[in-house]
Amino acid sequence: MPKGKMLLKVCHLYPDLLNLYGDQGNVLALVRRLQWRNIGVEVRRVNQGDTVDFRGMDVLFLGGGSSRGQDLAAGELKEQREPLRATVEEGLVVLAICGGYELLGHYYRNPEGRIIPGLGLLDFYTEAGPERLVGDIAVEMTIYGKPVLVTGFENHAGRTFLGRTNPMGRVLAGYGNNGQDSTEGARYKNVFCSYLHGPILPKNPRLADHLIRLALQRRSLPSRLTPLDDHLEALAGKVILKRLLRHKKA
């Protein structure tokens, strides 16, 4: 039985429009890691045309998408801007990947030169470049002051340039936000944006647990998490990093 009143609500926003390269595995990773700790979890899939109460959610997930999916999601999100902005300011935990990430900034200029407006919740913009940035990627981010290795797979035309918003991490190998300034993703309050598919959370359990902890803290629930056996994920991350650094030198 789940512990007392502990119940987290995970919202998968527009799985019908934004869901590439196994992105929904991120939702699955959150669900499993909560269930393994006997914490109740509910998943709400919000599709095109559905209404959503952001305040009632604990973790909001947005995946990547095709140009068409991204376009449609931008139209949907426009209507939700104010409630989403207010809930983000109050500490809603958000994970946004690739196309979903780009939608939280000012705009995405697609390969045809057309501007897809973003919500402007975070201070960055994205412009498509001539080639796609594709491959495995390793990043170092900071969680509670400690360096944490994060690995994944990226595939994006967009080059994101941050304004006042901080990056989520620093690229160790791969392209990241734009292939130039070694930044990867964006981080603001409890919002984490990244180009890393993979999906990112099953590959990087420390980040998954960080999101869970932040969501529990937002509800003033006990946030000390029972440790899980993640040694295979840690090992896999180190192997990828070593391989990527070897290729970089060669």
Half-sphere exposure of 116 (CA within 13 A, CB side): 28
Contact yes or no for 119/104 (Cβ under 8 A): yes
Half-sphere exposure of 107 (CA within 13 A, CB side): 9
Q: Closest by alpha carbon to 149, among 207, 73, 226?
A: 207
Q: Minimum distance between the CB of residue 10 and ligand GLN, rounded to whole angstroms?
A: 20
Catalytic amino acids?
98, 197
Region of residue 4 (left: phi > 0; alpha: psi -120 to 50; beta: else): left
Q: Which residue is nearest to ligand GLN (CB)?
A: 64
Q: Minimum distance between the CB of residue 59 and ligand GLN, rounded to whole angstroms?
A: 19
Q: x/- contact string, 78-117, with ligand GLN (CB under 6 A)?
A: --------------------xx--x-----x---------
> Scanning the structure block, which residue is given the tokens 């095709």?
66
Contact yes or no for 195/156 (Cβ under 8 A): yes
Residue 125 corresponds to which tokens in the numbers above?
């913009």
Q: From 3-11, 43-51, 64-72, 214-222, give the range in contact with ligand GLN by CB under 6 A.
A: 64-72
Q: Contacting ligand GLN (CB under 6 A), which of 118, 158, 167, 185?
A: 158
20 binds ligand GLN (CB under 6 A): yes
Q: Minimum distance between the CB of residue 3 and ligand GLN, rounded to whole angstroms?
A: 36
Which 3 state secondary structure label does DSSP give 61? strand
173 binds ligand GLN (CB under 6 A): no
Q: Minimum distance between the CB of residue 97 and ligand GLN, rounded to whole angstroms?
A: 7
Q: Contacting ligand GLN (CB under 6 A), which of 30, 137, 157, 201?
A: 157
| Parallel, antiparallel or unpaired: strands 191-194 and 93-97 | parallel
- Summarize as ranges the residues that interact with ligand GLN (CB under 6 A): 20, 64-65, 70, 98-99, 102, 108, 155-158
